[in-house]
Structure 1
């Protein structure tokens, strides 16, 4: 699968927004900040929706061409779970060792339950609050795998109309099913990513643009605030710039780098960052400097995990599977 640098730019933008949101607004809610709340980066929370749109684009792209459901499942597992397990364990260890009175330690049973990645479905506490978004991702992967197996990916427009109808109905009437299974709260962003893929690779026409408009509308109906209207409009505009090759001007190396380390950064930054900021905050009175140090430290940790753990493990797992000989049932000499 071709790696598009502009997607790393979008990942970097999303990751930075989420980190700054947690270190300003979320930290204030949990522990308090002394500076005025007007400096909080509250809109950064919607970086997750940008991640979902990127996933829609990438997952649909990964199911094109010669592949199988087995290969798709293995690639998704190898991409998500080993790094996730590493980051869960690191977070568990640091939070428990810190003995911070305002950071609730986790038991071994919670740690083990978190290894499934779907602990939130059963109301089990996340080792890190940022893990909530992994459940919509997993259910989207399962949904796409099912459509692929049923050979229905060619019927994107029909699926989009049905899915959007369910999403808007759920926003208006709260349907008693499918919040997790059908991604009715966040599916409009995954779907938009799919539709943007079709436009970028000349598989779509004016109907894709109409459906993207309804994805935007569904997002605003689900989140009916002026802030969401503005933020979602910006996210959709960024993707339009991307699919029409206008995002290259924003291909700033720091954003590309943040995109490269975005998965470990997302998994590690919140609770570990909170512990770090509370520790150094005892010695440094300037909270803006504390936030900056926290960001730099967590970017460094995420890079170390990416460089020395995530990428080597992923490389090994992919090579191990796809270098093995395949047999078609008859013995081959």
Structure 2
């Protein structure tokens, strides 16, 4: 699968926005802050919605061409779970050792349940609050795998009409099981990513533009508010710039680097960053400096995890899959 630099840029933008939100507005909400409230980066929390659109684009792209449901499932597992377990283990350990009364550490039973990544479905607490977004991702992967297996992925417009109708209905009437199993709270962003793929690579036309407009409508209905309206306008326009090759101007190495480490950065930054900020606030009275130092630290940790754990483990698992497939093919030829 081709790697697009612009997608790394978008991942980097999404990641740094979420980090800034947590270290300003979220930290203030949880612990209090001397950092000026007027500079709180509240809109940074919606970087998650940008991640969802990216996922819709990338996952649909990964299912094009020659692949199997087994390959898809294995690649998604190897991409998500090992890094998640590493980052969750670090967070669990650091929060436990810090023993901060205002940062809740979880018992081993909760840790074990978090290993599944499905803890939110059963109302089990997350080891870190950012894990909430992994449930919509997982259910999207499951639904895409099912549609792929049924051979329905060429019916994108029909899928969009049905799914968006359910989302709009859910925003008005709150359908049962919608939030998780039908992915109705955030599915419009995944669907938009698929439609943007169609525009960029599959010669989509006005039908895709119209359906993207309905994705936007579903987003606004499900997540109302003027601030969100403007944020969603920005996110959708950003993706349009990407689709029509107008985002190269933003392919700066810092953004590409942040995109490269975005998954560990997202998983690690919140509680570990909070622990560090609360400890170092005793020694660094300047809030601007404290936030800057914390960002530098967490980016370094995320890079170390990416460079020396995530990528080697991913490379090993992918090679293991290739070797086993080669061995199975060799046995098949001998029969």
Q: Deviations over 1:56-109 (max 9, x none)?
A: 000000000000000000000000000000000000000000111211111111
Equivalent residue number for residue 68 of structure 2: 68
Equivalent residue number for residue 303 of structure 1: 303
SS in 2 for 1:158: helix
Equivalent residue number for residue 13 of structure 1: 13
Deviation at 1:34, TM superposition (A): 1.7
Deviation at 1:328, TM superposition (A): 8.4
- Asked if 1:327 corresponds to 2:319, the answer is no
- Asked if 1:137 corresponds to 2:137, the answer is yes
Deviation at 1:331, TM superposition (A): 4.6
Equivalent residue number for residue 100 of structure 2: 100
Deviation at 1:172, TM superposition (A): 1.0
SS in 2 for 1:204: coil
Deviation at 1:176, TM superposition (A): 1.7
Equivalent residue number for residue 191 of structure 1: 191
SS in 2 for 1:146: helix
Deviation at 1:203, TM superposition (A): 3.2
SS in 2 for 1:323: helix
- Between 1:139-148 and 1:316-325, the stretch displaced more is 316-325
Equivalent residue number for residue 250 of structure 1: 250
- Asked if 1:293 corresponds to 2:293, the answer is yes
Q: Deviations over 1:13-55 (max 9, x none)?
A: 0000000000011101100012331110000000000000000
- Between 1:127-136 and 1:282-291, the stretch displaced more is 282-291
* Runs (5+) with no aligned partner, structure 1: none
Deviation at 1:330, TM superposition (A): 4.3
- Between 1:105-114 and 1:268-277, the stretch displaced more is 105-114
Aligned in 2, Cα 1:328/1:209: closer, same or farther, shift over 3 Å?
farther
SS in 1 for 2:182: coil
Distance 2:212 2:222 in 1: 15
Distance 2:35 2:266 in 1: 25
Equivalent residue number for residue 233 of structure 2: 233
Equivalent residue number for residue 77 of structure 1: 77
Q: CA contact under 8 A between 2:18 and 2:44: conserved in structure 1? A: yes
- Asked if 1:124 corresponds to 2:124, the answer is yes
Deviation at 1:119, TM superposition (A): 0.3
TM-score (norm 1): 0.98
Q: CA contact under 8 A between 2:196 and 2:240: conserved in structure 1? A: yes
- Asked if 1:161 corresponds to 2:161, the answer is yes
Aligned in 2, Cα 1:269/1:330: closer, same or farther, shift over 3 Å?
closer
The list of structure 1 runs, each at least 4 consecutive aligned residues, that deviate by more than 3 angstroms after superposition, is 328-331
TM-score (norm 2): 0.98
Deviation at 1:202, TM superposition (A): 3.2
Q: CA contact under 8 A between 2:24 and 2:35: conserved in structure 1? A: no
Distance 2:159 2:125 in 1: 34
Equivalent residue number for residue 272 of structure 1: 272
* Runs (5+) with no aligned partner, structure 2: none
Equivalent residue number for residue 30 of structure 2: 30
Deviation at 1:216, TM superposition (A): 0.6
- Between 1:75-84 and 1:286-295, the stretch displaced more is 286-295
- Between 1:177-186 and 1:16-25, the stretch displaced more is 177-186
Distance 2:26 2:14 in 1: 16
SS in 1 for 2:45: helix
SS in 1 for 2:329: coil
